[in-house]
Chains A and B, each alone.
Chain A
Amino acid sequence: MPLTIGKIAGLAQVSADTLRYYERERLIAPAAKSAGGYRLYERDALRRIRFIKQAQQCGFTLSEIRALLALRGNNAACCRDVRRIALEKKLQLEAKIKAMKVMSKALTHLIDECSADGRPLDDCPILAALERANGVKRTGR
């Protein structure tokens, strides 16, 4: 029995707006529309929505998920194709982690410079350092 957008959204634990967004992004499409124009989904769509959610949690963008879904439906593709995409995503995530660690370390230095006393903001070493980094000289407020 076909499921309405509200019903399938509830089962997949996403909002109906999310499903409409997925539809605009060509990730999912209703199997049919009712006489009243309401979207109707087959039960299989639930599996697809869960796949999309899980892939998003792994850091895949919607366009990458679209590619993964296309791959899933491609008989000529095989597991190693998916593995390559997963490995590329891991490389991207590791690169982001590395950049964030550098940022975190920079913040640690800035935090160490600040004694957290009651000095006015014009004397705040963190703000001053951030402005120095932008090549701006503090002139006071």
Chain B
Amino acid sequence: MKIELFYTPGCRKCVDASDGLKAAAQELIPGVLWRELNALDELDYAVEVGVVTLPAIAIDGELVFSSLPTCRRFRRELTKRIAKAGEHAA
């Protein structure tokens, strides 16, 4: 799974929250690909994903959170996706 956090430089909120979210992702999905993208540097990709507000989180190229989720909400989303992936694999 690939998780991308789009942020705007200087966003303290993003920095503060990203550590907790990243830790949650790594705990639930060993080997998760976690990327932090400066939306200005990755403007075309951000537009492609559909990012219009910052910070935002995309999972596997799909915009899932258009603002920073709470750690609990983020974990719930990841758990749901892990279960779904498990169903497909079965």
Contact = CB atoms under 8 A, between A and B. Distances in A.
A80 B8 contact: yes
Contacts, number: 34
Contacts of B43: 90-91, 94
A131 to B, nearest CB: 30
A87 B52 CA distance: 9
A83 interface: yes
A65 B29 CA distance: 42
B58 interface: no
Contacts of B53: 88, 91
Contacts of B44: 94
B54 A95 contact: no
B21 interface: no
A15 interface: no
Interface in A45-104: 80, 83-84, 87-88, 90-92, 94-95, 98
A95 B63 CA distance: 14
Sorting the interface of chain B by its residue count into under 10, 10 to 19, 20 to 34 or 35 or more gives: 10 to 19
Contact of B40 (A87, A92, A95, A98): A87
Contact of A94 (B8, B11, B47): B47
A84 B10 CA distance: 9
A77 B52 CA distance: 21
B50 A87 contact: no
B8 A87 contact: yes
A84 B47 contact: no
* Chain A contact residues, majority secondary structure: helix
A84 B50 contact: no
Given A91-B39, A92-B52, A84 B46 contact: no
Given A87-B39, A90-B43, A95 B50 contact: yes
B11 to A, nearest CB: 7
Interface in B51-76: 51-54
A79 to B, nearest CB: 8
Given A80-B11, A88-B54, 9 more contacts: A80-B10, A84-B11, A88-B52, A90-B43, A91-B46, A91-B47, A91-B52, A95-B50, A98-B48
Nearest to A89: B52
